[in-house]
Structure 1
Amino acid sequence: MKELKKQWKNGEFKGCYLFYGTETYLIKNYEKALMDAVLPSGAELMNHDIFEEKRASAGAIMDAADTLPFLNERRLITVRNSGFFQKGNTKEEGEKLIDYFANLPECVCILFIEGKVEKNNRLYKAIAKIGEAVEFKTPPEKELTTWIKKECAKSGVSMEERVAQFFLQTVETDMETIVRELQKLIAFKGSQGSLAVEDVKDVCTPSLEAKVFDLVRAVAEEKPEKAISIYRNLLLLKESPYMVLSLITRQFRMIFTSSLLFEEGMANGQIAQKLEIRDFAVKEYIRQAKRFSKAQWKMALEDCLKTDLDIKQGRAAEEAAVELLIMKYSCKVLKSS
């Protein structure tokens, strides 16, 4: 991805770009970089067409592309959430562009921005061939911690590796949240000093996943009072008991799966990549896995699914059912029964 900005800086552009994926912060960042490179200040008013969802028809896009730029070298066309790259009627509409793209005017640059795409889609393949199809997802943990420390340094604040890792463990995993929480931390510290774990605890808003992570850790460490306290605090914050159950189930599954993969000889980094989780989470999951037997983890997962079914079928009140599940597996006597 970084090569794109270098190309644009050197005045090298493809006729078509497709930006897609879950990381909207990075997509916006690269969208702005492309716009700044194609359209100098003042040129955007007469040389930028934007089509969103239902307005994104093949005919309208081709008409815009056939319009010559006004007092500028290129024209930019941005197409958002067209649906051209998924199944349905919009896919057929998008395929009308394929032949047109083969003879796309050199003075136009078309940018598609989508959430999900199907890579076997004909339009996707056409853009990947003549232009660039780029997936934006949250960077790996090591890359993120390096970036976080650099951002802190720009503001005259330092952050050690372990603090950066704790910060990532605490906040939501999307880049927009990471940037917002990091800005809060830097503003809190001022223009000098070193950020500590306590600063992260005091300033940053923990994600629901981080709180459930702590809850499950308390369960594995057989600390029922702490586990129930975390759960009840989540309820006070109006979190859904059913959502908490879903996250507990996911954590139990990740612990069980991580331990199995580790026993097969897979390294932590490989496990993290396979399960699409952070490196620190793998370390914690493997540590927690040792506290229960395989049979107990399997039973815990089965109990999670049973609790889920009982709630759905009205046999149990969700708040009480989830609390009973937490109690059972955080109490040594109960989980053995």
Structure 2
Amino acid sequence: MSAPKPRIYILHGEDEQARQAALARLREGLGADDPAALDYIRLKGETLDLPALHDAALTIPFFAKRRLVHLVQPLAAPPLKSPKGRKAFLALLERVPPSTALVLEITTTLPPKHWLRRWADAHPEAAYQRRYALPDNLTRWIMKQAAEAGGRFTPAGAAELARRVGNDAAAARQEIHKLLAFVNYARPVEPEDVAELTPAPEHPNIFEMVDAIALGRSERALRLLHQLLQQEEPIRIWGMVIRQFRLLLLVREALNQGITAPQALAQRLKIHPFVAKKLLPQARRFPMESLETIYAALLETDRAWKTGQTDLPTALDVLVASLGR
């Protein structure tokens, strides 16, 4: 006879993509992978009351092998703010029947002594717990992920990708598969491959300089420009300025159409959600008319320095000074 399945699944940790993949596998295994399935229900902790969770967890499945109740951020539930509420919650967990799989998804790591983990440790027959942590050493993790996918990275290639994605495991996963496909899984991914396909992180002063332009602070905008010119080649700065205002124009257009969520913007513009989140407040500072005027000025500046009417650093100086007025 096979061992009984867990009734409570505690999935915690900061690696969102790994958590979601685990949840998808669980749903598929239970036959509840259709988002519209009658045997799947998703609840949010911040709006949860215990009677609603009780009813969801104790309802028998209709068609699937088991009913899957997915509770997101359970620790945000108002009843769990008090010892009495937590006691009632744990008592409810013990009453969850074998016909239900109750998934508690928590987006941070729970310490070993947390009251929920202590309960799970005391009920190993009923509870499954798994931490989905971000890697401590992203370079080594990239090389391991590539090997598991059937490809290879050189240590230098993995280090370059780690530098470009920061501590974003989800972005690293996407880039790993893209880069392995680029080399056709036939050779290791080198730093040059990463440089060609994976965007470098935006320089923070670009955002600050654009903010200063939006607020009409031309002196600060020029000061930030001069700092950038000491750190980067003018042609690279010019490319970043063009890209920043092009993205702002697209974000402003999306805002005017009622698209305000960073995730939706990221999907629409094919950019990372983190970048979309940073662009949103900037785009709100610019009316569409202002961005269209700025973009026209960028095109004129581009024409001027490419035809030899001025050099690029001077063109940037004049442009930023005029835009910041």
Give the TM-score normalised by structure 1. Answer: 0.52
Change (3 A) 1:68 1:187: same
Q: 2:73 aligns with which of 81, 88, 96?
A: 81
Displacement of 1:126: 2.0
Classify the secondary structure of the residue corresponding to 1:96: helix
Partner residue in 2 for 1:111: 103
Tell whether 2:232 aligns with 1:229: yes
Aligned 8 A contact 2:73 2:107 in 1:
yes
* Partner residue of 1:68 out of 57, 60, 63: 60
CA deviation map 1:266-301 (0-9, x unaligned) = xxxxxxxxxxxxxxxxxxxxxxxxxxxxxxxxxxxx
Structure 2 distance, partners of 1:137, 1:161, is 22
Aligned residue number for residue 91 of structure 1 = 81
| 1:129 to 2:122 alignment | yes
Q: Which runs of 5+ in 1 are unaligned?
A: 1-9, 212-223, 239-337
CA shift in 2, pair 1:149/1:169, >3 Å: farther
Q: Report the equivalent of 1:102.
A: 94
Distance 1:205 1:152, change over 3 A: farther
2:41 equivalent among 49, 58, 70: 49
Deviation at 1:14, TM superposition (A): 1.1
SS in 1 for 2:65: coil
Please list the CA deviations of residues 6-56 of structure 1 after superposition, one character each: whole Å capped at 9, or x if unmatched: xxxx88631111112211011111111111222266697121111023343
Aligned to 1:159: 153
Q: Among the aligned pairs, what percent are the same residue?
A: 14
| In 1, Cα distance between equivalents of 2:25 and 2:89 | 25
C-alpha distance after superposition, 1:183-202 (max 9, x if no partner): 33234334644432111111
Structure-1 residue corresponding to 2:198: 204
**Structure-2 residue corresponding to 1:19:** 11
Deviation, 1:145, is 1.4
Q: Secondary structure at the match of 1:109?
A: strand
> How many Å separate the matches in 1 of 2:175 and 2:116?
38
Structure 1 residues 149 and 29: alpha-carbon distance in aligned structure 2, compared to 1, 3 A threshold: same
Contact 1:49 1:64 in 2 (8 A): yes
Q: Structure 2 vs 1, CA of residues 209 and 15 (structure 1 numbering), >3 Å: closer, same or farther?
A: farther
* Change beyond 3 A, Cα 1:197–1:65: same
Give the Å deviation of 1:122.
3.3
Task: Give the deviation of 1:82 after TM superposition.
Answer: 3.0
Q: Please, which runs of 5 or more residues in structure 2 have no aligned partner?
A: 206-226, 245-325
Q: Secondary structure at the match of 1:182?
A: helix
AA aligned opposite 1:116:
T
Structure 1 segment 146-185 matched on structure 2, within 5 A: 146-151=144-149, 153=151, 158-185=152-179
**Number of residue-to-residue matches in the alignment:** 213
- Bigger drift between 190-199 and 16-25 goes to 190-199
What CA distance in whole angstroms lies between the structure 1 residues aligned with 2:131 and 2:110?
12
Q: Distance in 1 between matches of 2:135 and 2:93?
A: 31
TM-score in terms of structure 2 length: 0.54
CA distance in 2: counterparts of 1:230 and 1:149, whole angstroms: 36
Q: CA RMSD in A?
A: 3.8
| Aligned mates of 1:23, 1:41 — CA distance in 2 | 21
Conserved? CA contact 1:95–1:122, under 8 Å? no
1:38 aligns with 2:30: yes
